[in-house]
Structure formats: structure tokens, C-alpha cells
């Protein structure tokens, strides 16, 4: 969740400065009263973006492994500049997702995965196999950034957080047939929010 939210936030700012997903994750799960091995909920992630903001990635880089003692997992102090962003949960209707994207607004998609997602075809298209069902135990967040058509079917271009080896440089096309039964939540990010008043407490 926080990787997608961080990329969406960074993409809406002037230029491209990666933002600290570690900081956003820390603030979101702290608000949700969860532990570091648990996922960050969508609602608390959006609240953390709006109220706590994010520093640049270099202020608190991503940690592949959380420290064994959670009490030592704390943001650096001082953390420096923080950038906030308003956001809102959206609809699970693909038509609305497409409308937002075609109007120039990226959409965070929360989806259930299945085997086909791990194997985009040579054109970076993910289609649902005939006997394939969504797996409720495999959840993921991506960003919808474009739309198109493949063989007459509407497709949504996503940016994934798995690096350039997935799809085509980290991007891939999800068909409506694949995305429809797997989409369970969405969010869009809106305007900048001044979180400077919270900086001292952060």
C-alpha cells in the first residue's frame, strides 16, 4: 500500500523526487495501532499522508528488514522537510477508475492477485486464465496511470512496485476481465497539504 501511495504522491509533485515509504509506513501503522510486520490499512495511510506527510526518500530510506526490536524502529530526528497530500478512498468501479486516469489523475488500486499477475505476456499484458480465481490471501497495491485497448478489450496501464523486471520496465496492462473481480478498493490523491505545523511533533 505505502509503495503505491508514495509513488503516486511523488508523481504528483513537480519533478521526480522519491519520497520515504518507510516514514509513511511507520506513521500509518502507528495510527492503526499495528506492528511492523502487519500491513498498513488504506484509511490510515491516507490520514498519514494528510496529517504527517513524507520526507524525501534520503531522509529515511527503505529498510528491507525491520529491526528485530520494534522499539528501535523510529524515524531519524530531525526528519527535515515533510510534504503532505490530501486523498480520498474511491469506488471499485472500473469505469470510474478509467475516467479518473483519462482525466489525468492516477488511481491507487488495491487488488487481489492470482498466478497470471506474476507472468505478464510479451506485451506486458496480464489476462485472466479461464479457470483462475482471485486469491484473497494475496493482496497488492499498484497505480493506474493509463488506459488502452488490447484485442478490443479495455486495459488499464499500471505501475508496479516490483522493479523493472516485472512487465515492461515495471509497467503492465491489466485487462478488464482480470481487474474486475480482483479490484476491492481504490484511492486518489488530491492537493498539497501544509504539514509544517506537525513537523516538530513528527
| pLDDT, tens only, 173-182 | 999 999 999 9
Residues 81, 94: one domain? Answer: no
Whole-angstrom Cα distance, residue 43 to residue 56?
A: 22
pLDDT above 50: residue 201: no
Residues 66, 120: one domain? Answer: no
Per-residue model confidence (pLDDT) at position 15: 85
pLDDT above 90: residue 200: no
pLDDT above 80: residue 199: no
DSSP state of 199: T
> How many structural domains compose the chain?
2
pLDDT above 90: residue 70: no
Mean pLDDT of 144-162: 95
When comparing pLDDT for 200 and 149, which is higher? 149
Per-residue model confidence (pLDDT) at position 8: 96
142 burial level (CB within 10 Å; 0-12, 13-18, 19+): buried
Residue span of the structural domain in which 15 resides: 2-86+191-198
Q: Is the dihedral of CA 14, 16, 17, 22 positive or negative?
A: positive
Residues 124, 73: one domain? Answer: no
Average pLDDT, the chain: 93
Q: Is 18 helix (H, G, I), strand (E, B) or coil?
A: coil
Q: Is 129 helix (H, G, I), strand (E, B) or coil?
A: coil
Residues 183, 103: one domain? Answer: yes
Q: What is the pLDDT of residues 15-63, one digit of tens each?
A: 889 999 999 999 999 999 998 889 999 999 999 999 999 999 999 999 9
Residues 99, 184: one domain? Answer: yes
Residues 122, 64: one domain? Answer: no
Residues 174, 134: one domain? Answer: yes
Residues 81, 93: one domain? Answer: no
Residues 96, 183: one domain? Answer: yes
Share of the chain above pLDDT 90, in %: 84
Q: What CATH number is given to the structural domain containing 118?
A: 3.90.70.10
Residues 76, 118: one domain? Answer: no
For residue 66, what pLDDT band results from cuts at 50, 70 and 90? confident
Residues 102, 80: one domain? Answer: no
Cis bond before residue 78 (omega within 30° of 0):
yes
Who contacts 176 (Cβ-Cβ below 8 Å, separation ≥6)? 94, 153, 154, 155, 156
Who contacts 98 (Cβ-Cβ below 8 Å, separation ≥6)? 147, 154, 156
Amino acid at each position: 500500500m505505502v509503495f503505491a501511495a508514495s509513488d503516486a504522491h511523488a508523481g504528483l509533485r513537480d519533478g521526480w523526487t522519491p519520497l520515504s515509504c518507510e516514514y509513511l509506513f511507520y506513521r500509518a501503522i502507528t495510527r492503526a495501532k499495528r506492528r511492523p510486520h502487519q500491513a498498513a490499512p488504506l484509511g490510515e495511510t491516507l490520514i498519514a499522508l494528510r496529517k504527517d506527510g513524507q520526507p524525501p526518500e534520503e531522509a529515511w530510506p527503505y529498510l528491507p528488514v525491520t529491526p528485530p526490536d520494534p522499539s528501535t524502529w523510529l524515524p531519524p530526528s530531525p526528519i527535515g522537510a515533510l510534504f503532505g497530500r490530501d486523498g480520498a478512498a474511491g469506488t471499485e468501479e472500473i469505469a470510474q477508475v478509467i475516467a479518473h486516469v483519462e482525466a489525468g489523475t492516477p488511481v491507487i488500486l488495491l487488488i487481489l492477485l492470482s498466478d497470471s499477475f506474476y507472468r505478464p505476456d510479451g506485451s506486458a499484458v496480464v489476462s485472466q486464465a479461464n479457470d483462475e480465481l482471485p486469491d484473497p490471501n494475496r493482496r497488492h497495491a499498484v497505480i493506474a496511470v493509463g488506459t488502452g485497448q488490447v484485442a478490443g478489450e479495455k486495459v488499464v496501464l499500471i505501475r508496479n512496485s516490483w522493479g523493472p523486471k516485472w512487465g515492461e520496465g515495471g509497467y503492465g496492462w491489466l485487462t478488464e476481465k482480470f481487474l474486475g473481480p480482483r479490484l476491492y478498493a481504490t484511492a486518489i490523491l488530491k492537493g498539497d497539504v501544509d504539514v509544517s505545523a506537525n513537523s516538530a511533533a513528527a
